[in-house]
């Protein structure tokens, strides 16, 4: 469920790296990039979400030699989304109810 939520709500759109225009597909973006007249270069703004490389890693079906626990799966997801965070700083996926 967590992965499906991430794909639906947090994946960054496909966009032109020059003008930051969003596209519905990789093909549309590729056609835009190959246009004879180049688009205007615009400063990119920091957007929250994950990119295509991270999505590919999340969708990877690599099997480990031993089955992973739910906690290990969560940590793998977290490390994919936040690679620069310290391993000791990975939060629990469960909220504590007070």
Reduced to 3 states (helix: H, G, I; strand: E, B; else coil), residue 84 is coil
pLDDT at 91: 86
Q: Considering only CA atoms, which of 21, 45, 47, 50 is closest in space to residue 33?
A: 21
Please indicate, yes or no, whether the overall pTM of this predicted structure exceeds 0.85.
no
pLDDT above 70 covers what percent of the chain?
92
Contact assessment for residue 77 and residue 58, using Cβ atoms and an 8 Å cutoff: yes
Indicate whether 96 pLDDT > 80: no
What's the mean pLDDT in 38-52?
Answer: 89
Q: Considering only CA atoms, which of 13, 82, 17, 9 is closest in space to residue 52?
A: 13
Q: Considering only CA atoms, which of 97, 93, 95 is closest in space to residue 5?
A: 93
Indicate whether 63 pLDDT > 70: no
Distance in angstroms (rounded) separating the CA atoms of residues 54 and 7: 11
pLDDT at 84: 87
Indicate whether 40 pLDDT > 70: yes
22 pLDDT tier (thresholds 50, 70, 90): very high
**Which residue is listed with tokens 């739910």?**
70
């Amino acid at each position: 469920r967590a992965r499906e939520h991430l794909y639906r709500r947090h994946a960054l759109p496909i966009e032109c790296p020059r003008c930051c225009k969003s596209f519905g597909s990789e093909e549309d973006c590729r056609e835009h990039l190959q246009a004879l007249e180049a688009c205007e270069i615009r400063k990119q703004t920091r957007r929250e979400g994950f990119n295509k490389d991270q999505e590919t890693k999340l969708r990877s079906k690599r099997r480990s030699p031993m089955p992973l626990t739910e906690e290990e799966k969560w940590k793998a997801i977290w490390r994919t989304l936040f690679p620069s965070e310290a391993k000791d700083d990975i939060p629990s996926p469960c909220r504590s109810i007070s």
